[in-house]
Amino acid sequence: MLLTLPLSVISPNPNQPRKVFDTAYIAELASSIAAHGLLQPPTVRPAGQGYQIVAGECRFRAVKSLGWSELECNVRDLSDHDAGALSLIENLARRDMQPLEEARGLYRLLSHGGTVAELAMRVGMSAATITKRLALLDLSAELQGHIAQGLLPMRVGQELARILDHENQRRVAQGFFNGEYRPEDTARVVDAFLSDAAQGTLCNGETLQLIRTAPEARTLRVKTEKAADALRRVHDHLDRHPTADREAAELLGLIAKTAERLAAQAAH
């Protein structure tokens, strides 16, 4: 239902997914509205003694900057869940939302119930994309801040989120800031870190450098994992195999020689 409402009874949605509004865009929109009129009325819903914006807050801000006293609106009676979905869909359509804004909006919709697959159909995103966006919320507040400021690429953040401990997230992220690996290398770096952590060791700067530069880095990892598995089997049967110490030394020597060779290649 279309109604002309005083601006004084219209309020922004406190759960609006978009928290950062481009003032330059609002100014351009205001100029367009002044020249051509408002082509698409904002959508609002009844709220208390007035109305709450569901979709079209940029248009609301634009006409307010023009000094308008009233605004034609599309009034709909929507639940919190439906209003949140409509607001997020409109913002996603513009494709200039910050990744964390998207993530928080998606999380809010999921908190009302339903599955990721159902949400994907509703907002027009793939389930995989939604899962990756939500992963950003598992990052530390510090790393989330870096993403919001454009200092940390979203694809790097999504991979770092696989590390559950915030301190270790920061530690591996520091390698990126130090130039030790590129965004496209992050998955392998995180894989290496998680593998090392599972074996009770930690991925150091030299390992990160090998992953970034050595063309045989994947081969090194495969050989290392196979050698480590064999070494564990040897120690599991230590009492029954008198030659266990010699076999263990040989395996460790293989790991060391492979790493030295790749380090030499990466240096050239």
Mean of pLDDT values over 131-145: 92
pLDDT of residue 16: 74
pLDDT of residue 208: 52
Cα dihedral across residues 166, 168, 171, 173: positive or negative: negative
63-84 burial, b at 16+ Cβ within 10 Å, e below that, comes to bebeebeebebbbeebeeebbb
57 catalytically annotated: yes
Q: Which residues contact 170 (CB under 8 A, 6 or more apart)?
A: 140, 142, 143
Give the single-character DSSP code of 51: E
- Domain assignment of residue 45, yes or no: yes
Token digits of residue 3: 């109604």
Spatial separation of the C-alpha atoms in residues 36 and 153, rounded to whole Å: 38
pTM of the model: 0.53
Is residue 142 within 8 A of residue 170, CB to CB? The reply is yes
pLDDT digits over 64-93, tens only? 999 999 999 999 998 887 887 787 777 766
Select from 60, 76, 95 the last residue of a domain.
Answer: 95
Spatial separation of the C-alpha atoms in residues 6 and 63, rounded to whole Å: 12
Select from 42, 68, 95 the last residue of a domain.
Answer: 95
- Domain assignment of residue 31, yes or no: yes
Between the two ends of the chain, the Cα-to-Cα distance in Å is 71
Token digits of residue 15: 């759960």
* Number of domains into which the chain is organized: 2
- Domain assignment of residue 200, yes or no: no
- Domain assignment of residue 136, yes or no: no
pLDDT digits over 184-201, tens only? 999 999 998 888 766 555
CATH classification of the domain holding 89? 3.90.1530.30
pLDDT of residue 50: 93
Is residue 128 within 8 A of residue 94, CB to CB? The reply is no
| 214: confidence class by pLDDT, cuts 50, 70, 90 | very low
Mean of pLDDT values over 241-266: 56
Q: Give the least confident one: 12-26, 85-99, 119-133.
A: 85-99
Identify the top-confidence range among 205-209, 219-223, 252-256. Answer: 252-256
- Domain assignment of residue 7, yes or no: yes
Catalytic site residue from 57, 90, 159, 180 = 57
- Domain assignment of residue 186, yes or no: no
Spatial separation of the C-alpha atoms in residues 25 and 57, rounded to whole Å: 12
Biggest CA pair distance of the chain:
91
- Domain assignment of residue 109, yes or no: no
| 213: confidence class by pLDDT, cuts 50, 70, 90 | very low
- 18: containing domain: 2-95
